[in-house]
Structure 1
Amino acid sequence: MKRYPTVLTIAGSDSSGGAGIQADLKTIAALGAYGASAITALTAQNTQGVKAIHPVPADFLKEQLDAIFEDLIVDAVKIGMINTVEAAVAIAEILDRYKPEFVVFDPVMVSTSGSKLIENETIAVLWKELFPRVDLITPNLDEGQILISGKIDSVELLKEAAEEMVRKGCKAVLLKGGHLVAPTLSDVFARQNEETLILESGYIASSNLHGTGCTLSSAIATYMALGNSLPEAIIFAKKYISEAIEAGKDVKTGHGPGPLNHSFSPINMQFVL
């Protein structure tokens, strides 16, 4: 029997559908893979902000993950919002137990609307328990500043910050510079024992950027599940993001920053293994 390439997303739920688990599953499906999910937290949120967060107990999170890994062949894992220390430790234990082939972690700390989504004590645990266990982390500029405890306001500092994260134990880092004020967007890809790359893309004028980070990391995981190398997956995912932003820039969803158009060019389930 054939099977679909499968991506597991471990993240928080966005009740408005633009970010988190909902954005992840839309992205995975749009790119032609099968999405499974384990929810780390429930959020009451919309395009204007996060009203409340309800963490899922770590024991139940592990039950979700065990259920998935015991039944499905998981080709890639995307990790998103982790709100508590207990959840971080639980996920680390699951990664050690099942050893998925590829894991990308988007360390969600602040929402697009500016709401803080992580407890302070959890950040230290991420460095110790999760960053060394995953193949790629994808922080944005604000998250990068939190992780290095320093200011990033130029492409050169973006590059230095990504390389610092690798020196501190990350296998690979895609540090996103979309918040820098510049006509060209620059992201930095740094990996252990390899030359650091600066990846440029054109600026698209849009306020509909809710869930961009969730979508990018899910796209990278999906392209890895489809058999691409990590650099290829990043390049393809960045192209998908740009096209999804362009397709959704003139669409009104809610009263705040709206989502991307994840399904601007949906791909039917044509990829099978």
Structure 2
Amino acid sequence: MKPYKGIALTIAGSDSGGGAGIQADLKTFEAFDVYGMSVITALTAQNTYSVTGIYPVTPEFVKLQIETVFEDIVPGAVKTGMLFTKEIIEVVAECMRKYNVEKLVVDPVMVAKSGAKLLRDDVIDALVKTLLPTAFLVTPNIPEAEIIAEMKISSEKDMIKAGEKILSKGPQWVLVKGGHLDSEEVIDILVGKEGHFKFKDEKIQTTSTHGTGCTLSSAIAALLSMNYSVQKAVCIAKKYIHQAIKNAPPIGHGHGPLRHKIEIEFESTCF
């Protein structure tokens, strides 16, 4: 009997189109041979080109889901995605402290592809002040990093500065994702107290990008649950996401999903 390589939990919204949210997270966990569990924070009606409705779960039921999981199966890592309300964020942060979760990956979902804010200002404030201090790693893209760090980002130097500002808010590590920069390469920068580490990949011209942030953060969580270092986890996850985008078949009429089940290069080198 072959055991799983790790156990991970996703706390996020459900995507009826299957490309993002807990659906993408669970597919990613399975690709890494990690046993995946889920706590649903919101139900969304969406496809590859639009979100037509969001139905948030009550904070009480979010808390019950988390407690029920932890009372039986303790995950080696946890990741969060869309948390949608201030009350849900507070409940999640409370539970992370209660269960002494050491490897919490926070994907601060707060900006839509259009650039519009998905969360109200008071919800963003709760995420920054309540959840980030409990995080091992935070994975903002540039629009999200600009909101959290309260600065504009237009260069690698800005990415590092923003990462350091976010680091001062409590997490142990910050991965600033540079896909929104006008560049031929995708440059992500991991910032921690030990310094910063740069990851580069070619930019793939494709519309199959739905769920990219969810997939990257869940891949990192999967690897952390397998006891990889954060630098190595980001390295392998970056190589994985590149191949998942590159090998994605066209699905839907908008931004299509990735191909999650692919060969993973566990011996990837990035430095």
What TM-score comes out, normalization by structure 1 length? Answer: 0.92
> 1:167: Cα distance to partner?
2.2
1:224 and 2:201 matched: no
Counterpart in the other structure of 1:240? 240
Equivalent residue, structure 2, for 1:148: 149
Could you tell me how far 1:3 is from its partner in structure 2? 4.9
| Paired positions, count | 264
Task: Say if 2:112 and 2:118, in contact at 8 Å, map to a contact too.
Answer: yes
CA distance in 2, matches of 1:117, 1:261: 26
Superimposed CA distance per residue, residues 212-260 of structure 1 (whole angstroms, 9 cap, x where no aligned partner): 0000000000011112111110100001000101101xx2211101011
Deviation per CA, 1:64-122, whole angstroms, max 9, x where unpaired?
Answer: 00110001021110111110000001001111111123110000112335564322211
Change (3 A) 1:184 1:204: same
TM-superposed deviation, 1:206: 1.2
Letter of the structure 1 residue corresponding to residue 57 of structure 2: V
- Secondary structure, aligned partner of 2:189: strand
Would you say the 8 A contact 2:134–2:170 is kept in 1? Answer: no
Output the CA distance in 2 between the equivalents of 1:2 and 1:47.
36
Is 1:8–1:76's contact at 8 Å kept on the other side of the alignment?
A: yes
Name the CA distance, whole Å, in 1 between partners of 2:134 and 2:102.
Answer: 11
- 2:94 pairs with 1:96: no
1:49·1:114 contact (CA, 8 Å) conserved in 2? Answer: no
Determine if contact 1:112/1:209 at 8 Å carries over to the other structure.
Answer: no
Aligned to 2:207: 207
Structure 2 residues without counterparts, runs of 5 or longer: 266-271
Aligned partner (choices 227, 251, 266) of residue 253 of structure 1 = 251
* In 2: Cα distance, 1:53 partner to 1:233 partner: 32
* Partners of 2:171 and 2:96 in 1: CA distance: 16
Q: Distance in 2 between matches of 1:202 and 1:2?
A: 36
SS in 1 for 2:71: helix
Number of the residue aligned with 2:172:
171
Could you tell me how far 1:201 is from its partner in structure 2? 1.4
Counterpart for residue 20 of structure 2: 19
